[in-house]
Structure 1
């Protein structure tokens, strides 16, 4: 080194020539390889360049089970799990640094199936592909598997949906079939009971008509009757009032019984049979409507309107409180309706009271509901004990049909014409019965096919009555029980009132061993077709 040179008052020393810093202090240069990965460029002291072999990227799996590439930042320290850098290789020519290319991020696809990564890796074993191609090749394979899994899932879900639809369709069909069966059973029941023209109705023998009888019975036991006729073929309905003096065949001591007493004497069934015989039209059922039930029925309907012809008073007494006046379209409460239906003024016949009952019955039918369910609820709320021939569902069906005709103004009300002796004449009653019921009238006495015989013992021998009774029964005649005795007389008699019974009386005389002169016609009423009065000339047959 040269000595200092003087420069003024200071010493100046020449500086050392500039020397470059050793290579280890130089800032490392970065370049990118063909895959876009940052690499470290190192220059040795002899200006020879080396490059480090790119590290093997670490692979990990994302949340969807797809492999991803792990890239190490060159400016960070090497992780503990990174493999040590390989030794330098032979020197190569300097590599031209390429411009930085952005790394294409992986395309995020929606998850197709919820298969866990462990199951996916077990189902699809890894293959040894180059690092840069691993993502694209495996992604295509996974997409194929995802498509297959999706098709399987969609197919299974479609099958489950179809199965649910098939089960729902079967249930709907079953429910519909059950409803059809219930409706058919109800209709069949009503049809069998006669409300829909079944075998229990008048439709079989009376040209499509259904006939039922209603009996109004007050607290004193007085019975007022009427027929409810549903003429389906004629699209009309009728209320046929029956006078209580109408004679019906009887199975009691008397050959006939009036309608007013028949309900107590022969019961509801016997009364229906008697009406069927006399009118020539089957009567299907009986509606027993006592006044307490009529009171409840009108109350449930909210009252009725009637053209009254008499003032209605409480208890049907002249001095009682007036419930409704006489006039047109008078509103009657339940109590007033019952009082008017049973009212008979002093000096009036029973036909006047029968006509008022017909007015109330007609008004009730005109305000009855036409819906079967509502009618059934109404009949059930009234709480009447129905006759087995006309239970609540069938009675509701009858009332609904009559109410429909009433609202169409196809309902008529009238009284059957009956002669003073209780019989029906062909001229008047015959036409009514044929037009309304489709039947043919027949008198009660002529309707009895079996001759009824009663015995009075006037022979003075107690056992003679029993012996004669056995002979009468063996002759095919009906013996009426009687223990009455007649004054003792010498000659026996067989009395009759109807000329049609004369041949039967003559045959009975032969059976009893009496003379033909014993048969006599009388005009006085008697309780049987033939009355046998045993005299002292009657000889009991000797046992053989």
Structure 2
């Protein structure tokens, strides 16, 4: 039987491929020595696998970028909507404000915020010779009126020195602007908020900036008050006065005239200035600034601009008036006339239960009914020493036996009792009254009052 063929010798092992499953296989050792190319399978990653991973990263970046664009687009749309809403609200607000302004409800609101609801300002016109003319500019917002109240230079104010009394005509030099305001507040019972010192060169500049003012003049005024001088202000209705002419007219006093005539002319010029001033706060403040005056700290430029703008509004509405405060020949106030005048112009500060001073200190007026003229002076000194404010007065009454200390406000009852003790009088002299009086406390000195001995 034939012998089976011997199995064929196994073929020499095929040299392993350098790529098996994308991996490099290690070569078998040759000649019994390790080869330098002896690498483990899977030790390296080839470029084709890196390409796959790179495509995944690119796809992720594209996805993230698309989401970012979506969010950015949403934010843009939201921002556009908000801008649109704000524009609509601004248009509506502008329309409402415009209507209210046109309707007059916001007229002078900025000026009112600066100046306040009620403003009393003292203005001193000082000429180059040092003569002073004084007026109160009063804006009564609640009463819808403005006033120019001229103050006679003989009006007595609390002062310093032996007598403790000065006058409006002398107070600016004697006690200064601040003490003058306080003195006026004491005498009139109304707080005076600021001082406007208007020297004649500044009045001339202000009128020139306004383009002149129209004044009803009662006399002809010539340059330098010389008969042959150039006519600056002719007599007549609605005469247009330049800056120089306004100063000449406001300070003019004929040789045969008293100070009241000149004071009235100053009042007319002030009224004309207020009628010509702009009602806009910014414009009014600009006029004050360009006047270049050195203003009192109590009344800076913007505040003065607000005062003038508000009064200009009253003047243009026909609600501005002028008058002169009534005083007695000795410079004291007459309760019957000045009291009513002050009440109407200054808002009723001289009335029962509402007479207060700016510092909260009680104001005291002394009426001498003791029959001894020296008693009033002695009592006045005691009032001042007691820390109260003395209202200058020379009032007298028929002699009476018992003294009285009258008050209208219950809050002043304790001050009245303390004053009785300071005057050496019993508390029984204190009594409450309902009639208006020109001070918190009115002391009527009777024969029972004994002046302290020196």
Post-superposition Cα deviations, 1:119-169, rounded to whole Å, max 9, x if no partner, equal 9997548xxxxxxxxxxxxxxxx9x99996884353143255368769989
| Kept in 1: contact 2:124–2:132 (CA 8 A) | yes
Aligned residue in 1 for 2:350: 440
| Kept in 1: contact 2:112–2:310 (CA 8 A) | no
Aligned residue in 2 for 1:154: 69
> Cα distance, 1:428 vs. partner?
1.3
Between the aligned partners of 1:332 and 1:166, the Cα distance in structure 2 is 59
Matches within 5 A, 1:60-79: none
Q: Secondary structure at 1:302's aligned position in 2? A: coil
Matches within 5 A, 1:19-168: 124=55, 151-152=66-67, 154-158=69-73, 161=76
| Kept in 2: contact 1:249–1:445 (CA 8 A) | no
| Kept in 2: contact 1:216–1:289 (CA 8 A) | yes
Q: Is 1:225 the counterpart of 2:119 in the alignment? A: no
CA distance 1:449–1:146, shift in 2 (3 Å): same
| Kept in 1: contact 2:157–2:165 (CA 8 A) | yes
| Kept in 2: contact 1:255–1:445 (CA 8 A) | no
Between the aligned partners of 2:242 and 2:316, the Cα distance in structure 1 is 21
Aligned residue in 2 for 1:462: none
| Kept in 2: contact 1:368–1:375 (CA 8 A) | yes
CA distance 1:189–1:325, shift in 2 (3 Å): closer
| Kept in 2: contact 1:248–1:444 (CA 8 A) | no
Q: Secondary structure at 2:192's aligned position in 1? A: coil
> Cα distance, 1:212 vs. partner?
1.1
Between the aligned partners of 1:397 and 1:356, the Cα distance in structure 2 is 25
CA distance 1:324–1:374, shift in 2 (3 Å): same
CA distance 1:376–1:508, shift in 2 (3 Å): same
Post-superposition Cα deviations, 1:282-337, rounded to whole Å, max 9, x if no partner, equal 11111111101101100111100111111121123333221121111111010000
| TM-score of the superposed pair, with normalisation by structure 1 | 0.50
Q: Secondary structure at 2:344's aligned position in 1? A: helix
Between the aligned partners of 2:170 and 2:301, the Cα distance in structure 1 is 26
CA distance 1:230–1:508, shift in 2 (3 Å): same
> Cα distance, 1:218 vs. partner?
0.4
Aligned residue in 1 for 2:172: 263
Q: Among 292, 297, 304, which residue is 1:388 paired with? A: 297
> Cα distance, 1:411 vs. partner?
0.6
Aligned residue in 2 for 1:196: 116
Greater RCO (Cα-Cα under 8 Å, separation 6 or more):
2
| Kept in 1: contact 2:111–2:310 (CA 8 A) | no
> Cα distance, 1:368 vs. partner?
0.4
| Kept in 1: contact 2:364–2:383 (CA 8 A) | no
Structure 2: stretches of 5+ with no match in the other structure: 1-49, 88-108, 352-362, 368-378, 386-420, 424-442
Between the aligned partners of 2:183 and 2:228, the Cα distance in structure 1 is 40
| Kept in 2: contact 1:225–1:241 (CA 8 A) | yes
Q: Among 329, 334, 355, which residue is 2:243 paired with? A: 334
CA distance 1:500–1:406, shift in 2 (3 Å): same
| Kept in 1: contact 2:327–2:333 (CA 8 A) | yes
| Kept in 2: contact 1:278–1:444 (CA 8 A) | no
Between the aligned partners of 1:322 and 1:341, the Cα distance in structure 2 is 15
Between the aligned partners of 1:389 and 1:503, the Cα distance in structure 2 is 45
CA distance 1:245–1:328, shift in 2 (3 Å): same
> Cα distance, 1:266 vs. partner?
0.8
Structure 1: stretches of 5+ with no match in the other structure: 1-118, 126-141, 173-186, 198-208, 454-474, 478-497, 510-531, 533-544
Aligned residue in 1 for 2:338: 429
Q: Among 152, 156, 169, which residue is 1:243 paired with? A: 152
Matches within 5 A, 1:107-506: 124=55, 151-152=66-67, 154-158=69-73, 161=76, 195-197=115-117, 209-437=118-346, 438-440=348-350, 448=380, 450=382, 500=445, 506=450
Q: Secondary structure at 1:433's aligned position in 2? A: helix
Aligned residue in 1 for 2:104: none
CA distance 1:428–1:499, shift in 2 (3 Å): closer
Between the aligned partners of 2:384 and 2:446, the Cα distance in structure 1 is 10
Between the aligned partners of 1:298 and 1:268, the Cα distance in structure 2 is 24
| Kept in 2: contact 1:226–1:239 (CA 8 A) | yes
| TM-score of the superposed pair, with normalisation by structure 2 | 0.59
